[in-house]
Amino acid sequence: MSGSSVVVVTGASSGIGRAAAEMFVARGCRVFGAVRELRKAPALPGVEFVAMNIREEDSVQRGIESVIDRATRIDVLVNNAGMMMIGAVEETATAEAAELFDTNVFGMLRVTRAVLPYMREKRRGRIINVSSVLGVLPAPYMGLYSATKHAVEGLSESLDHEVRQFGIRATLVQPAFTRTNLDANALRVKARIGDYDRERDLVSLSVADSVSSAPEPHGVANTIVEAALGPWRMRRTPPGEASLLTKLRRFLPAGPVDASLRKKLGLV
């Protein structure tokens, strides 16, 4: 992929998506930022915003078609838009879980399906799916969020096998906590069960502390840009905690990893 690539970034109004859009512009790309409401789009020099609600099929199709009308092709898709949920598995209503999957998994699927015909036609493309270290290291009280990221991991590997015959590659970026609004905007389960209050509150506080002390989004954004424009690798993990956690999961026995996670979350 070259610096003159046409790039679509979902969830581009803030956080990781915004930082990635700015970095792609700095690398000479033509960048389209997908946002739910154009009136809420920030002023980002060089970024062309398109309206797209990834939970609505027609909205996704219209958004991608508008990019094709203006740029004639899409070289890179960054599936970044997503949401978080905190709550015990037992507390989570099926409808709440479905809402989370509709954004984090099916939203990604809608946008990918809309873009792939144009990439197949050109016989080239790169699809970057933003996962999480929770996609390999599940955490308590984030069970459904972890489940969506596990789904993204499996979907992305299967996708890469299928589309490489067309000169298209899919890759995963696995950040740890990053200083964004993901935690502040996280869904909280509605039907709370008192028996879980103590631990759930401890985890919520730990997550908030981790986010407030986490690095700014630029490190993750840089990893996304390198995943899109650099040599292909199935997984790219930003430096720092994300890289450390994925290595611990891969190389340490399950017992110490489990104990370390519970200690970090205050569940000892």
**Letter for the amino acid at 178?**
T
Instruction: Choose the catalytic residue: 132, 149, 156, 196.
Output: 149
Cβ of 212: how many Cβ atoms within 10 Å?
10
Known catalytic residue at 40: no
Instruction: Choose the catalytic residue: 5, 118, 131, 196.
Output: 131
- Is residue 262 classed exposed, middle or buried when 0-12, 13-18 and 19+ CB atoms within 10 A define those classes? middle
Instruction: Choose the catalytic residue: 13, 132, 146, 156.
Output: 13
Nearest to 224 by CA among 135, 128, 160: 128
The two structure tokens encoding residue 258: 């489990």
Known catalytic residue at 2: no
The two structure tokens encoding residue 206: 């730990």
**Helices 15-26 and 218-229: angle between axes, nearest 10 degrees:** 50
Instruction: Provide DSSP, 19-53.
Output: HHHHHHHHTT-EEEEEES-GGG----TTEEEEE--
- Separation CA 68–CA 255 (nearest Å): 50
Instruction: Choose the catalytic residue: 5, 118, 141, 145.
Output: 145
Q: Strand runs (DSSP E) across 104-179, as ranges?
A: 125-130, 168-173
> Which residues, 6 or more positions from 212, have their beta carbon under 8 angstroms from its beta carbon?
179
Known catalytic residue at 260: no
**What is the DSSP code (8-state) at residue 134?**
G
User: Which residues are designated catalytic?
Assistant: 13, 131, 145, 149
